[in-house]
Structure 1
Amino acid sequence: MPVPTARFLVVLDADSTLIRNEVIELIADEAGRGAEVAAATEAAMRGEVDFATSLRSRVEALRGVPLAAFARVLARVEPTPGVRELIAAVHERGGAVGVVSGGFHEILDTVAPDLGVDVWRANRLLTEDGALAGRVDGTIVDAAGKAAALIEWAAERGVPMSQTIAIGDGANDLLMMDAAALGLAFNAKPAVRAQADLVIGTVDLREVIPLLP
C-alpha cells in the first residue's frame, strides 16, 4: 500500500517528548532497579556515554521482568500536555507526524496510534519464557538511526527536507534535529538546548503549533 504524500513532516522523540515518562525507567521499577536505570538514562541523555552501549546495559537490568508487567507500565504512561492538539494541527495543515525512539515498540505500538501518530520506529526487546531476556532485538535505534528515519519518512511522503521539523530532548536527538530544517529542543538537556535552532521552554507541545509551515 503506498504511503500518502504530505506537505510537511514533524518527527518527535518519544520519551520525555511525546510522553512525559522515560519508559525504560517504568519497566525498571518492575525489577526494583528504577533508581539505578534512571541515573544511567540521565547520563545517556546528557551525552556523557555512548547511547547504544548505555542502552544495552540498562536493558540487561530488565532481565526477568514478566511480560504481564507491560500492562502496568502502559497504565503509568502520560502523554505530554498539548500532544493531541499538536498532532491534530499537523494533520489539519496537511502534514504527517512521525515518532522515532530509543525506547521500545512494546509500549509505542499502543501509545503512538492512540495519539494519532502516522509512523513510528523504536527498539524491540527480546523475550524468553514469558519474561524479558535482558537484550535488544536487532539494530539499536540510536542517534544515527533517528536521523535516518526522519530522512527516510520525508522521502517516502514526498516531503522536501526544507519542510521537516524534529523535536527532542536528549543528546541522541541531535543528529535528527540537525538533519531537519528546524530542530526544536523540548524539555531538553543543556547540551541539546545549546545546539537547537529553537528552545521550547514550556512543557506543552501546543507551543510548537505556531511554528508549523
Structure 2
Amino acid sequence: MPDARFLVVFDADSTLIRNEVIELIADEAGRGAEVAAATEAAMRGEVDFATSLRSRVGELRGIPVTGFTRVLARVEPTPGVRELIAAIHDRGGIAAVVSGGFHEILDTVAPSLGVDVWHANRLVAEDGALTGVVDGDIVDAAGKAAALRRWAAEYGVPTRRTIAVGDGANDLAMMAAAGLGVAFNAKPAVRAQADIVVGPVDLAELIAVLP
C-alpha cells in the first residue's frame, strides 16, 4: 500500500459516535442503567478497563444477536465526523478507529462513515444469542496504543504525524503514543493530559489541526 501523509486514530464510543454501544446492547435486556454506571466508572479510570468490560459483557448474556439491528438503528454519528474524515482523505491521510467496543457494530458503522481501517472486540454468540464472553484478547489502553503504532508502520507514517482522538482513560496510552493527543468531549483526567482539548461536540473542529 502507498504511504500516507498522516494518520488519525479515533476512539469510537462517545468520540466517533455519540453513544456507548455496550449500553445500547444492554438496553435490549433492560440492563442499560447498570451497564451505563459501570461504563462511566471505567471511562473515568476508576476501575481496570478489561476487568470492567468482562463484567459488563457478562450482563449481555442471552441477548439475541438479532438485537444488533435495533442497536445499529440507534447509533448516532458525532456531528462533523463525515466532514472531518473527508478532510483527512483530501489531505492524503488515513482515518482509523480502535475501540473497546465491538466489531459487531463497528463493522457496519465504520465503513459507512468513510473510515479506512478499524479494530475492536468481538462478542461470542451461540445458538443466536450472546454468551456474555469476549472473544480473545480485550482491546484495552495498551491495545489501542499498539494499534496506532501498527497502523503507522503499515502506512509508512512517522509517529510525529499521528493524531489520537479520545474521551476516556483507556485512550490516554494511545494519545501519549501519538504525535498529537486530542481530548474530545473528554473526562477531566483525559483533558488534563491531552495536547489539545476540543470542547464543542463537533469533530469538524479538528480539521484545523490536520497536517
TM range (shorter): over 0.9
Return the offset for 1:4.
3.5
Give me the whole-angstrom Cα distance separating, in 2, the residues matched to 1:93 and 1:101. 24
Given candidates 125, 128, 152, the residue that maps to 2:126 is 128
Partner of 2:73: 75
Partner residue, 1:103: 101
In 2, Cα distance between the equivalents of 1:87 and 1:76? 21
Could you tell me which residue of structure 2 aligns to residue 140 of structure 1? 138
- Residues 1-213 of structure 1 mapped to structure 2, 5 A cutoff: 3-213=1-211
After superposition, the C-alpha distances for 1:123-180 in whole angstroms (9 at most, x for unaligned) are: 0000011000000000000000000000000000000001000000000000000000
SS at match of 1:96: strand
Which residue type is aligned with residue 101 of structure 1?
S
Code of the aligned partner of 2:168: G
Distance in 2 between the 1:80 and 1:51 partners?
23
TM-score, L = length of structure 2: 0.99
Identity %: 81
Q: TM-score, normalised by structure 1?
A: 0.98
Matched residues in 2 for 1:131 and 1:188: separation?
Answer: 33
Counterparts of 2:186 and 2:130 in 1: how far apart (Å)?
30
SS in 2 for 1:19: coil
The count of corresponding residues between Structure 1 and Structure 2 is: 211
Amino acid at match of 1:181: G
Q: Which runs of 4+ in 1 moved over 3 A?
A: none
Instruction: Give the gaps of 5 or more residues in structure 2.
Output: none
